[in-house]
Structure 1
Amino acid sequence: MAKYTREPINGFTHLFGAILSFAGLLILVIKTTLENPSPVALTAVIIFGISLILLYSASATYHLVIAKENTIKFLRKLDHSMIFILIAGSYAPFCLISLNGFKGWILFGVEILIAVLGVSFKLIWFNCPRWVSTLIYVVMGWGAIFLIVPLYKSLSTVGLMLLVGGGVFYTIGAIIYGTKPEFLKLKKLEFHEIFHIFILLGSLCQYLCVLLYVI
């Protein structure tokens, strides 16, 4: 398998994530249409689902495809840029449905702006130190902390635990990515494979939160 793919474990874990994201988007759209058929709610879950699909598809493609160096560099930039898209897209259901007001729209707008700036930043200075990218991802991801009280009122305790739990998984993954800790090296897994697993867990938690407590 390795001769046909560059990084099979990294690639197939996120290919699995992409497939789940397609199915997950369909489920979200059906449930929203049946239970909360407003244009805003439907748009929010579509944005969320598409951001998951884009992240995992870009990541799987980058890690699986064997191609020329310039193509790999382009795919890597796309992979990293999609992280900003996923973070901003993940805010959509919480800001536009759970918060459903001025503060929610403002927070979502700020996240979109940061995502646009982040993608531009990656395209201009792709080889920046890992800690710089990691810090931006983490700060962007935890922006919802400023509206934790209204989110709690909307989501309930378990819903908020899923939202925060997803953030914790994402953050641990980001720290692993940024620091490349040697002690995490296992027989067949290195830091990047473990990083991918934490990202999947973060997405799962927040997806379940949206499915069960937002729509």
Structure 2
Amino acid sequence: MLCEAIIGSFVGHRRGAKGEGETMKGNSLPEFTREERRDDVMSAVTHGIGFLMAGAFLGLTLWKSIADLSARRIVAFSIYGACLLFTYLSSTLYHSFRQGRTKNFFRLMDHSSIFLCIAGAYTPIILVPYHGALMVSLLSVIWSLALVGILLKAVSFCWGGLNRTEIISVTLYLVMGWMSLALAPSLVMRVGWGFLLFILGGGLAYSAGVYFYAKESMRYNHTVWHLFILLASSLQFTGFFVYLT
């Protein structure tokens, strides 16, 4: 169910890694052409829009949850919204800067935010419909994996370069994402097919965007990819708001 997030997290950062120069810490970035720089600027703008969308979604879900006096939903959507805001902000800032230490730092934030985004998306999915020991166990597992992933990124950034742990990171992304398939039958029973369809629709949007991202010969392909991410996020927003608030 969260496989769409995995697809995005894996391919969405290839460009930052592609063609990197070899330095002591392996975190340098390639020089961009003028067209690539324009694509970078538009990518920053699109995810800046995503940041505003995430803020609006957070406001709507909190307003509805507070009106319903639902502490569980307030906590769930606050965590999800904060993680999504951080993810979009990190991407926006990463694409906003040229070469240098600042861009490298935001590259680390961009990579690390993937784990927060995945765990944040799980939070309302688990916290709202599930209860008791099962809820605590599921949240503990997913957030523990996210923290391990973030620590791995930080350590590799400081002592080896982000690319050197790419295989481990992608494996962890996949494990976290595919775990959601085990929840699909119970989610249909607890929430309904409609919710599942919105989540799957988001997955299809991410998957369609992958085609454009991989088509490097296409002008501004990264910006088009970001537009598909916005579409996927919108579908997920709608599913959460309609079925979990």
TM-score by length of 1: 0.84
How much identity, in percent, do the aligned residues show?
29
Distance change >3 Å, CA 88–CA 168, structure 1 → 2: farther
Distance change >3 Å, CA 18–CA 86, structure 1 → 2: same
Take 1:96 and 1:132, find their aligned partners in 2: how far apart are those partners?
28
Corresponding position of 2:71: 39
Corresponding position of 1:73: 104
Corresponding position of 1:95: 126
Deviates more, 1:145-154 or 1:53-62: 145-154
- What whole-Å deviation, never above 9, does each CA across 1:104-138 have from its counterpart, x for those lacking one? 32222111111101111112221236555344323
Deviation at 1:40, TM superposition (A): 1.9
Q: Number of residues paired by the alignment?
A: 207
Corresponding position of 2:237: 207
Take 1:169 and 1:110, find their aligned partners in 2: how far apart are those partners?
27
- What whole-Å deviation, never above 9, does each CA across 1:77-122 have from its counterpart, x for those lacking one? 0011011101101111110002234323222211111110111111
Which has more radius of gyration? 2
In the alignment, does 2:183 pair up with 1:147? yes
- What whole-Å deviation, never above 9, does each CA across 1:133-175 have from its counterpart, x for those lacking one? 34432331232211111111122111111123324444666x6
Unaligned runs of 5+ in 2: 1-33, 157-161
Corresponding position of 1:104: 135
In the alignment, does 2:165 pair up with 1:124? no
Name the structure, 1 or 2, with higher relative contact order (CA <8 Å, separation 6+): 2
Equivalent AA in structure 2 for residue 121 of structure 1: L
Q: 1:21·1:49 contact (CA, 8 Å) conserved in 2?
A: yes
Q: 2:39·2:220 contact (CA, 8 Å) conserved in 1?
A: no
Corresponding position of 2:159: none
RMSD: 2.7
Take 2:110 and 2:48, find their aligned partners in 1: how far apart are those partners?
13
Take 1:207 and 1:42, find their aligned partners in 2: how far apart are those partners?
15
Take 1:120 and 1:168, find their aligned partners in 2: how far apart are those partners?
30
Unaligned runs of 5+ in 1: none
Give the SS at the match of 2:129.
helix
Deviation at 1:43, TM superposition (A): 0.4
